[in-house]
Structure 1
Amino acid sequence: MNFASLPDRRASLDPDGAAVSDGRQALTNVQLLRRVQAATRHLQDLGIGPGDVVALKLTNRVEFVLLLFASWRLGATITPVNPSMTDVEVARQLKDSRARLLVSEDGEAAVADGTAVLAVGELRDDAAAEPDEAPLPDPSTLALLIYTSGTTGVPKGVMLDHANIDAMADMGRQALEVGPADRCLLILPLFHVNGIVVSTLVPLLAGASVTIADRFNPQTFFDVVERERPTFFSAVPTIYSMLAALPDQVRPDTSSLRFGVCGAAPASAELLTRFEARYGFPLVEGYGLSEGTCGSTINPVAGPRRAGTVGLPFPGQEIRIVDADGSEVPPGADGEVVVRGPNVMRGYLGRPEETAKVIVDRWLHTGDVGRLDADGYLTLVGRSKDMIIRGGENIYPKEIEDVLVGDPSVLEAAVIGVPDEKWGEVVVAYVQPRPGSAVDPSALQSRCARSLTGFKRPTAFFVVDAIPKNPVGKIDKVSLRAAHAEVSARS
């Protein structure tokens, strides 16, 4: 599917059908097309053309979707920016991506030299203007540049071309059995690849509609469900845990929902079973990563769902489990999860060596440890990286450790994830002072607040005489986690 022309196709097939809405506006298919055409001309007048990068630092709103399609019609690339990022983080992404334009919420100041800024409220919406012709971009044209942290601590730009998103959206449509009668409730952030691909492009490709919800609130979520009558939505385990913890007297009408997708972090089989028993619709757990354009496995919507697993490969993808030498292991044996398919990213922007490490013979090496059963269902058993997952957000300790050791009083820092009932994991930091120095945790807290997004900031700082090391002199996070758990159990 050529997504640049998807608004045209929808307007032709069903002009007055519902397309996309948020709390401020609701667009039919023909209105979506006209607004996309107006946004395209606006970007063009600002000098945006083929190969340019447009950064969107926006909350979830209709304009995000308009700018996606408008940029693609011009052969440009979208890089989503988390609105909660610090100015330091935003400037780094804008510089690395070489963004020509940043579209931000009204009233925000510019954060990087050399990047033009457009306030979203100024986006042209002249629906009566002369219509344009939908182009046919080359499938290898870069569509999305999704930034994800790496083990080096430096965020990397995951390059997803039109062939990637075309393949992933069609895979999602097939696996989730989405059709024109569906309505997706979008509650995940649009700066995540799931929000763009699974919650927006999949339903729009299938002829369905998208309702963009305000910021998730467990107290009002089911009010939105009862009012909007969606047929499915995607969320992370933390959201399902919050909903499962609502008072027993909360008994909403969920009859419109066919299923909920659960991903981005491991969920317990107990949570999935308990949630479905209470609310009457199934949760289908899946697994994927940005480098694979979002999803690689999913439990079947209509077929056998196996709680505790993350399901079967999406149509058109292959999953293998390999040992340290790259040899495939038999069913039931643990090893690294590797993925192959047309959804696998082009690579990391400007990082050919790192790309070559994770994509070997077209197989994407995820760094996750899992096993396949005899029927091909994947179970994740661990992470070979030190990644922390807080409420579905991926956090790499090295990025935080680099901020902490930048303090002149800190000799060394080790960041770990510790269990948390609400978020799954939260960040804590262990710091070792420089000789003759005293560490001030409140100063470290302020330092993190200046450089790190809120969810990356440690919830606690522990000042220790020495950070444990393994026999080869590397920080031993296994023993650090064990010691932390032991202390926590005693307290």
Structure 2
Amino acid sequence: MDALGLWNIAASSPTRPAVVDPSGRTLDYGSLAAAADRYGRGLRAQGLRAGDAVVLLLPNCAELLAVHFAALQTGLYIVAVNWHLVGPEVAYILKDSGAKAFFAHERFASVAAEAADEAGLPPEARFAVSEAGELASGAAGATGASAGAGASAGAAASGAAIPGFRPLASLGADEPAGRPDGRTMGGPMLYTSGTTGRPKGVRRPLTGADPDDVPGTAIWFFGIFGLAPHDGHVHLCGSPLYHTAVLNFVTISIQLGHPAVLMDRWDPAAMLQLVERHRVTHSHLVPTQFSRLLALPEDKRTRYDLSSMRAMIHGAAPCPREVKRRMLDWWGPVVIEYYAATEGGGTTIMADEWLRKEGSVGRPWPGSVVKILDDSGNELPAGEPGLVYLRMGTSSFEYHGDKEKTRKARVGDLFTLGDVGHLDEDGYLFLHDRKADMIITGGVNVYPAEIEGELAAHPKVADVAVFGIPHPEWGEEIKAVVQPADGIEPDEALTEELLAYARTRLAKFKLPRTIDYRPQLPRDPNGKLYKRHLRTQYL
């Protein structure tokens, strides 16, 4: 039987391709494992122990995967940060997670430096990756562990890519060769929106498992989509690796012997070209990307050989039915949809099922439970809408530092994301809306309270409401409605001033696309905002 897991495959087949980086250069299993070992030794030498956390502010690159596997084998919590965030937002995550090490790319140098300073992170805990990279450039054309080790020496001599940060290549460079001591399985610490607009870390107990053993849940999860170990699959990653599902698909692919092709910036035509070039068999997209693929001119859409594709998996946001139909017409029955939660549990629907149950997001995974409950926690019958509750196994997660959020999300051993939906008589889930105010734009979750809190701090704003309105490509776009302060003229100059102010405090993807004005926002006598009254005007 073929070996499973990064380190086992590296031992048996060190020259086997593991990662194709965005430049097109290949890193083999031996080199990736050697880099993960070296960084793991360095983290141990830094004093990090099982249960500590590291934060990654990195684009799609081989270095991110090497650091990920280094942390995974040393029992650390891995926090992959959205690199669209601004300095104070990253600083909050550094502090909230208790990060003991911070890895940043020079592309985000100013944000990284500001965040590290604000969080009070010591210089020895800061590591930088240069634009030229370390592993891809050092391992190009080379194979085995020696290639990965040789890459570090040259990169270390080049100096840090971010002032005040150490070169990544220096991590573990002076430690004896071999695996790090005290190897034990780490895991992700995933940040999701909090009740106050601040993100909250979803933190599960560590298993204490051997990092060489691939979890059975990983094999089971890929099996849901018809993906099996060493079955000739090639994964294409076009979305940022800070997304939970995206990182899971890449790392599990590598663990199961599927090489991963990374894109730095997703482009529809470039994606099709890579599918043909590398004979890609599976990928993970969001509906926005489907829309952009369908918008390509006919000659570009039909130029490439896509016959290798076996599973085009999509989730993260509702997919318009017409978009789904057109993708099925174009690519055939390889389009698979799922609905899942960072916290655990979900549903899947294959192409033939979707055509019978159009609009559904599928039935529960094996071992997953989906129920529809009313506001009192009572289970509702088929066809009746209510809050969607999920469970996967024991659902033993907690929101880091927010027991109240954890409590409110639960009914018994079930939890909810605040989505409203119903189950039909065959057990298929249909989603209606979100009870919470979460906006999903381009597959990314945005919490309006955070935006409202920043805009409300501007002296020319008396009141503000932020919500999502339909957008044909992004699913939703962010709309702000502002009540100007007394004596302030609601004109284009004010809009530009407010957006400029927001840009200094919020990531670009959180910025309102448009701002409208009202002399008074609808609130009840107790001050509760009737946001739905505003939203319906734009539907």
- Please say whether Structure 1 and Structure 2 have the same fold, judged by a TM-score greater than 0.5: yes
Deviation at 1:220, TM superposition (A): 1.9
8 Å Cα contact 1:86-1:452 kept in structure 2 = yes
Amino acid at match of 2:184: P
Matches within 5 A, 1:24-423: 24=23, 25-106=25-106, 108-109=109-110, 110=113, 111-113=115-117, 114-115=120-121, 116-121=125-130, 122-124=167-169, 130-132=177-179, 137=184, 143-162=187-206, 166=215, 169-179=218-228, 180=230, 181-197=232-248, 199-250=249-300, 251=302, 252-280=304-332, 282-292=334-344, 296-300=346-350, 306-342=357-393, 344=395, 346-423=397-474
**Unmatched runs of 5 consecutive residues or more in structure 1:** 486-491
Distance across 1 between alignment mates of 2:126 and 2:287: 35
Distance across 2 between alignment mates of 1:12 and 1:343: 35
**Unmatched runs of 5 consecutive residues or more in structure 2:** 131-166
- Identify if the C-alpha distance between structure 1 residues 7 and 302 changes in structure 2 by more than 3 Å, giving closer, same or farther: farther
Deviation at 1:6, TM superposition (A): 3.0
Secondary structure of the corresponding residue to residue 277 of structure 1: helix
Amino acid at match of 1:33: A
Distance across 2 between alignment mates of 1:63 and 1:436: 53
- Identify if the C-alpha distance between structure 1 residues 343 and 449 changes in structure 2 by more than 3 Å, giving closer, same or farther: farther
Deviation at 1:467, TM superposition (A): 0.9
8 Å Cα contact 1:31-1:127 kept in structure 2 = no
1:356-379 Cα shifts (integer Å, max 9, x gaps): 111332211221011112222211
Secondary structure of the corresponding residue to residue 220 of structure 1: helix
Distance across 2 between alignment mates of 1:334 and 1:275: 28
- Identify if the C-alpha distance between structure 1 residues 13 and 307 changes in structure 2 by more than 3 Å, giving closer, same or farther: farther
Amino acid at match of 2:68: L
Amino acid at match of 1:224: L
Distance across 1 between alignment mates of 2:251 and 2:235: 10
Secondary structure of the corresponding residue to residue 378 of structure 2: coil
Distance across 2 between alignment mates of 1:441 and 1:42: 49
Matched, 1:432 2:472: no
Deviation at 1:40, TM superposition (A): 1.1
Secondary structure of the corresponding residue to residue 376 of structure 2: coil
Deviation at 1:161, TM superposition (A): 4.4
- Equivalence for 1:443: 497
Distance across 2 between alignment mates of 1:127 and 1:220: 40
8 Å Cα contact 1:300-1:312 kept in structure 2 = no
- Equivalence for 1:489: none
Amino acid at match of 1:466: Q
TM-score normalized by structure 1?
Answer: 0.90
Amino acid at match of 1:444: L
Distance across 1 between alignment mates of 2:283 and 2:505: 33
Deviation at 1:299, TM superposition (A): 1.1
**Identity, % of aligned positions:** 34
Distance across 2 between alignment mates of 1:303 and 1:382: 22
8 Å Cα contact 1:183-1:208 kept in structure 2 = yes
Distance across 2 between alignment mates of 1:133 and 1:155: 32
Deviation at 1:301, TM superposition (A): 6.8
1:296-346 Cα shifts (integer Å, max 9, x gaps): 111137877643111121222111111111111112221111111138351
User: How large is the RMSD of aligned CA atoms in angstroms?
Assistant: 2.5
Amino acid at match of 2:6: P
8 Å Cα contact 2:195-2:405 kept in structure 1 = no
- Identify if the C-alpha distance between structure 1 residues 374 and 73 changes in structure 2 by more than 3 Å, giving closer, same or farther: same
Deviation at 1:436, TM superposition (A): 3.7
Secondary structure of the corresponding residue to residue 219 of structure 1: helix
- Identify if the C-alpha distance between structure 1 residues 133 and 442 changes in structure 2 by more than 3 Å, giving closer, same or farther: closer
Distance across 2 between alignment mates of 1:362 and 1:137: 28
Distance across 1 between alignment mates of 2:216 and 2:174: 31
TM-score normalized by structure 2?
Answer: 0.82
Deviation at 1:134, TM superposition (A): 7.7
Distance across 2 between alignment mates of 1:461 and 1:429: 5
Distance across 1 between alignment mates of 2:324 and 2:337: 8
1:144-170 Cα shifts (integer Å, max 9, x gaps): 121222342111111144559947534
- Identify if the C-alpha distance between structure 1 residues 360 and 93 changes in structure 2 by more than 3 Å, giving closer, same or farther: same
Deviation at 1:72, TM superposition (A): 2.0
Deviation at 1:214, TM superposition (A): 2.2
Amino acid at match of 1:465: P
Distance across 2 between alignment mates of 1:255 and 1:126: 44
8 Å Cα contact 2:51-2:206 kept in structure 1 = no
- Identify if the C-alpha distance between structure 1 residues 287 and 118 changes in structure 2 by more than 3 Å, giving closer, same or farther: same
Distance across 2 between alignment mates of 1:49 and 1:60: 26
8 Å Cα contact 2:391-2:414 kept in structure 1 = yes
1:363-402 Cα shifts (integer Å, max 9, x gaps): 1122101111222221111111111111001111111000
Deviation at 1:129, TM superposition (A): 6.3
Deviation at 1:255, TM superposition (A): 0.4
